[in-house]
Amino acid sequence: MANRIPRVPVREQDPKVRATNFEEVCYGYSREEAMLEASRCLHCKNPRCVGACPVNIQIPDFIERIAQGDIPGAAEVIARDSSLPAVCGRVCPQETQCEGSCILGVKGEAVAIGKLERFVGDEIADRSLGEQRPEVAGGPYGGGSPIKEANGAAVTATRVAIIGSGPAGLACASDLAKMGYDVTIFEALHKAGGVLEYGIPEFRLPKDKVLKPAIESVKALGVKIETNVIVGRTVTIDQLMDDEGFKAVFIGTGAGLPKFMGIPGENYNGVFSANEFLTRNNLMKAYRSDYMTPIHAGRKVCVVGGGNVAMDAARTALRLGAEVHIVYRRTETELPARREEVHHAKEEGIIFDLLTNPVEVLPDDKGWVRALKCVRMELGEPDESGRRSPVAIPGSEFEIDADTVIMALGTSPNPLIAKTTAGLETTRRGCLSAGPDGATTRPGIFAGGDAVTGAATVILAMGAGRAAAKAIDEYLKNS
């Protein structure tokens, strides 16, 4: 018989209040709420949720431990397959993965797997993580000095370099460290975390509360992190392998190169990529009055796009005091953003201009944005993705008043590493060519996450990092 306990709702900030601050929207479950929600799980004989999870977390097992009040036990189950439960519990699209396959969701509401994973991650993060290790500002390449082992002994383990400290890099580094390798992460920016640090707003992923403990847990395994190192400029992969003694390299540099529409006027003042806009706010703290980082927030903002990044940019601009429009060429049904993010955006007052496509950015007499010229659309036949193709309606042009336009149209990998590393092949989309295990076209060099797939999800990147760690271990043992 199906469990008839209704899904336990999650407490959230009032929309009118949260639209004016950068504090986390969702408060998460209390211990009692988590245990009650965990009791809804049917513990299916063949749990479809596990197969739908990109890293195959044993979901019924950790949920059972929550129901029993054994939170450390639940954390141990998750840790076998995921090193970022507090992060993934917040930002992964569970509704299309584990929760989308929950049998309870067929006729009712699925178990809140993501919220339960977040609960476990938060509970463990609140406990001691051991000694916190510093990030090295550049290490030998930026004037700092490498971290030595705690006992001062020389490193004897095989050295592996990880390029990029996003979810793929952190997962790969964590698994390799547990296998006994001497792992160093090289991060181009001044803080570790990759897209988790620069791309996701504070109101969705609190950095000090959630991301910092996750990174500290990786450091506690002995992983060293050198920041301000641009591999391909500061140092090349060949130098790391030939001069520094790294026997294998994992590239997890993500997809940080923004795309634009190619319409007239995109070079006017007030046009941003979502990447720049979010990085200025998230990494450089432009939203805080105690930081001297400039940002042009605007009074009327148009965000072009319909994915999670578009929602993040729109909700950030709203919190900076703007009237914000989401401009998207299809209907709400086709919006690629998570339903939860769309719901939150609407609650907070974001205006959705659907079946609308920009054709030109219009300037004032000083070269600043004054409006976004658009055309009305209608849906035609399905395209190769299965979605109905939008078709412009002749004579339907109109203008939306705006002083800021943010393009949130996706990203692609930066070509720097491929251009500076002989033997690395790329796809026609500019992504690194790599097999399911992360092996690239050059022996000893592996890659995973958005650098291989293009912009995707945190959990998929983490899964790629873990798969590459296994392949690196096999490669080094057989070399």
pLDDT, tens digit, for every residue of 152-210?
434 458 999 999 999 999 999 999 999 999 999 999 999 999 999 999 999 999 999 99
Instruction: Determine what percent of the chain is predicted with pLDDT higher than 70.
Output: 93
Would you say residue 26 has pLDDT above 60?
yes
Position 296 scores a pLDDT of 87
Would you say residue 367 has pLDDT above 60?
yes
Classify burial at 326, counting beta carbons within 10 Å of its beta carbon; exposed 0-12, middle 13-18, buried 19 or more.
buried
**Phi, psi dihedral angles at 370 (to 5 degrees):** -120, -25
pLDDT tens for 219-277 read 999 999 999 999 999 999 999 999 999 999 999 999 999 999 999 999 999 999 999 99
CB atoms within 10 A of CB 154: 6
Instruction: Determine what percent of the chain is predicted with pLDDT higher than 90.
Output: 86
Position 156 scores a pLDDT of 56
Average pLDDT over residues 276-301: 91
Question: Interior CA angle at 31 toward 84 and 93, to 5°?
Answer: 40
pLDDT tens for 137-166 read 445 444 333 334 444 434 458 999 999 999
CB atoms within 10 A of CB 267: 10
Q: At 387, is the pLDDT very low, low, confident or very high (cuts 50, 70, 90)?
A: confident
Position 368 scores a pLDDT of 98
Instruction: Name residue 159's beta-bridge partners.
Output: 182
Average pLDDT over residues 64-80: 96
Q: At 362, is the pLDDT very low, low, confident or very high (cuts 50, 70, 90)?
A: very high
What is the rounded distance in angstroms from the CA atom of residue 313 to the CA atom of residue 278?
Answer: 6
Question: Interior CA angle at 404 toward 402 and 406, to 5°?
Answer: 120
Q: Which H, E and C letters describe the chain, residue by residue?
A: CCCCCCCCCCCECCHHHHCCCCCCCECCCCHHHHHHHHCCCCCCCCCHHHHHCCCCCCHHHHHHHHHCCCHHHHHHHHHCCCCCHHHHHHHCCHHHCCHHHCHHHCCCCCCCHHHHHHHHHHHHHCCCCCCCCCCEECHHHCCCCCCCCCCCCCCCCCEEEEECCCHHHHHHHHHHHHCCCEEEEECCCCCCCCHHHHCCCCCCCCHHHHHHHHHHHHHCCCCEEEECCCECCCECHHHHHHCCCCCEEEECCCCCEECCCCCCCCCCECEEEHHHHHHHHHCCCCCCCCCCCCCCCCCEEEEECCCHHHHHHHHHHHHCCCEEEEECCCCHHHCCCCHHHHHHHHHHCCEEECCEEEEEEEECCCCEEEEEEEEEEEEEEECCCCCEEEEECCCCCEEEECCEEEECCCEECCCHHHHHCCCCCECCCCCECECCCCEECCCCEEECCHHHHCCCCHHHHHHHHHHHHHHHHHHHHHC
Would you say residue 309 has pLDDT above 80?
yes
Q: At 386, is the pLDDT very low, low, confident or very high (cuts 50, 70, 90)?
A: confident
Mean pLDDT, the chain, integer: 92
Average pLDDT over residues 435-442: 97
Q: State which amino acid sits at residue 248.
A: A
Q: At 2, is the pLDDT very low, low, confident or very high (cuts 50, 70, 90)?
A: low
Question: Interior CA angle at 43 toward 40 and 46, to 5°?
Answer: 140
Position 149 scores a pLDDT of 44
Q: At 127, is the pLDDT very low, low, confident or very high (cuts 50, 70, 90)?
A: low
Residue with tokens 């008839």: 4
